Amino acid sequence: MLTIRVPALLERHLAREARRRRQTRSEVARAILQERFGGSDQPDAAEEARRQSVLVSRRRSDREALAFALSAADLRGWR
C-alpha cells in the first residue's frame, strides 16, 4: 500500500480522469504509474472486464444496460 499527497490541481486532474474513465482515483493512478515505470502497454483484460461487468450490472433491465453500454462506448476510429 502507498499513500501520497498531491497538490490540489493534480488531485482535480486525477479526479476528472477517474470520472472520465469510470474508475476510482486509485485505479487511474495505478495505471499511470504502471505505464510510466514499466509493465504492459495493454490494460489487464480481466480487470477491465470486471469493471465493465460491475457498471452494467447496476442497470435495472437489459434495455437500460444496452443503452448504457452504447453511451459509454468509445467508438472513435471504428467504421
Residue pLDDT, tens place only, 39-59: 665 667 778 888 888 888 888
Torsion-angle region of residue 59: left (phi > 0), alpha (psi -120 to 50) or beta?
A: beta
- Do 34 and 47 lie in a common domain? no
In the chain, pLDDT over 90 holds for what percent of residues? 32
How many domains does the chain contain in total? 2
Residue 32 cell numbers, joined: 499511470
Mean pLDDT, all residues of the chain: 86
Domain that holds residue 12: 7-41
Task: Give me the pLDDT at residue 77, please.
Answer: 79
- Do 32 and 55 lie in a common domain? no
pTM value > 0.75: no
Task: Give the helix, strand, coil percentages of the chain, each rounded to 5.
Answer: 65, 0, 35
Any domain includes 25? yes
Q: How many other CB atoms are found less than 10 A from the CB of residue 28?
A: 19
Any domain includes 36? yes
- Per-position DSSP letters for 30-56, written without gaps between them: HHHHHHHHSS-SS--HHHHHHHHHHHH
Any domain includes 12? yes
Task: Give me the pLDDT at residue 66, please.
Answer: 87
